[in-house]
């Protein structure tokens, strides 16, 4: 049942929106791509997951804070760093930046200073660009915008997309099962079976485990530094990881073990991620954490991921085949 303090922006009249107390309001939106996720998941996967997670976060926060009202905007699929396979839709980073900045400017002009952006897409050229745009909105227009996905990455994994330590306790999963499970694997297949099961192709049950690390092992190459426990990857190692993942996804469309997908596991995954996110965002609402404290660890080297010329030069250097843009 919809919570009475989670208001759908598109269903309200202008008069109803204008009546909302700006001091007690947070505007939310999901900005996540339409992207290929294996042969089994629909291309709306990242957007659907971002929306499903955001919904639970808003519900949890409404239960904790009686003075909080959410105004929920329709999702936006303007995104970068998508898999280069037919079906993915890609935009320039400058388009993403302009979208977020224009949205933030329009909301601040109307008195809505707080904007929390959900996302479930781990492409660094996407979420770091959103962080940059939020920073610009806050600096130029006096907003209090943030990328909730970047905050979640920071508190859960230190910047990576590997959730093996975070979700390995869930029944039916082990940390070993989830190593390298970063795209269309057990996690996303389970979540999508929970959220939109009718659109998950049953072929997932027979898909073998495939990961970047397994492919590197097959090729006789050393493992990625980010997968070595207790080791903090250097900038050079981060670039190597980025390169290997780009090349991996030229041929592969998923990373992980989709056959472990299960709708109940998906529900538990959403609950776990939503609870941890709600804990952090509760601190933001009460003033214990500022939007400037909500960046991902990659924020420190954002120039490497937000400069489109650097990205294009890097792709040319590694011979990346971009087939959708």
Question: Per residue of the chain (325 residues), what is the pLDDT tens digit?
Answer: 457 999 999 999 999 999 999 999 999 999 999 999 999 999 999 999 999 999 999 999 999 999 999 999 999 999 999 999 999 999 999 999 999 999 999 999 999 999 999 999 999 999 999 999 999 999 999 999 999 999 999 988 665 666 777 888 898 899 888 989 999 999 999 999 999 999 999 999 999 999 999 999 999 988 887 645 455 667 788 788 889 999 999 999 999 999 999 999 999 999 999 999 999 999 999 999 999 999 999 999 999 999 999 999 989 988 999 999 9
Torsion (CA) 78, 147, 135, 29 in degrees, nearest 10: 50
Let me know if residue 226 belongs to a domain: yes
Backbone torsions φ then ψ of 229, nearest 5 degrees: -60, 140
Let me know how long the chain is: 325
- Full-model pTM: 0.93
pLDDT at 1: 47
Q: Show the domain range for 123.
A: 6-318
| Closest C-alpha to 247, from 182, 309, 321, 313 | 321
Q: What is the count of structural domains for the chain?
A: 1
Contacts of 164 (CB under 8 A, 6+ apart): 175, 176, 177, 178, 179, 181
Let me know if residue 40 belongs to a domain: yes
pLDDT at 235: 72
pLDDT at 232: 62
Contacts of 217 (CB under 8 A, 6+ apart): 223
Three-state DSSP string of 182-213? CECCHHHHHHHHHHHHHHCCHHHHHCCCECHH
pLDDT at 287: 96
Helix (H) or strand (E) holding 280: helix 263-286
Return the CATH number at 228. Answer: 3.40.50.10310
Let me know if residue 325 belongs to a domain: no
Let me know if residue 1 belongs to a domain: no
d(CA 135, CA 253): 32
Radius of gyration of the chain (CA): 19
CA atoms 278, 284, 288, 290: torsion sign:
positive
Let me know if residue 250 belongs to a domain: yes
Let me know if residue 323 belongs to a domain: no
């Amino acid at each position: 049942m919809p919570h009475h303090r989670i208001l759908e922006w598109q269903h309200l009249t202008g008069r109803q929106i204008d009546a909302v107390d700006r001091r007690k309001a947070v505007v939310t939106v999901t900005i996540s791509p339409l992207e290929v996720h294996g042969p089994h998941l629909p291309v709306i996967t990242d957007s659907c997951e971002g929306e499903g997670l955001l919904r639970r976060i808003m519900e949890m926060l409404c239960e904790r804070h009686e003075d909080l009202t959410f105004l929920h905007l329709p999702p936006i699929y303007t995104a970068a760093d998508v898999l280069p396979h037919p079906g993915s839709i890609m935009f320039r980073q400058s388009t993403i930046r302009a979208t977020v900045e224009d949205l933030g400017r329009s909301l601040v002009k109307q008195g809505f200073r707080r904007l929390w952006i959900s996302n479930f897409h781990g492409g660094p050229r996407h979420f770091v660009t959103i962080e940059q745009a939020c920073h610009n909105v806050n600096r130029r227009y006096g907003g209090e915008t943030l990328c909730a996905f970047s905050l979640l990455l920071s508190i859960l994994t230190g910047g990576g997309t590997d959730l093996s330590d975070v979700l390995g306790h869930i029944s039916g999963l082990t940390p070993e099962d989830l190593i390298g499970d970063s795209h269309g694997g057990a996690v996303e297949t389970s979540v999508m079976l929970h959220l939109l099961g009718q659109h998950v192709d049953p072929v997932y049950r027979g898909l073998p485990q495939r990961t970047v690390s397994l492919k590197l092992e097959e090729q006789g190459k050393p493992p990625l530094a980010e997968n070595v426990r207790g080791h903090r990857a250097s900038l050079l190692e981060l670039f190597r990881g980025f390169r290997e993942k780009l090349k991996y996804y030229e041929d592969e469309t998923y990373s992980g073990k989709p056959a472990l997908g299960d709708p109940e596991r998906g529900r538990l995954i959403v609950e776990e991620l939503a609870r941890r996110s709600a804990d952090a965002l509760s601190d933001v609402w009460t003033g214990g954490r500022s939007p400037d404290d909500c960046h991902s660890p990659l924020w420190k080297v954002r120039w490497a991921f937000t400069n489109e010329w650097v990205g294009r030069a890097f792709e040319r250097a590694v011979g990346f085949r971009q087939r959708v843009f």
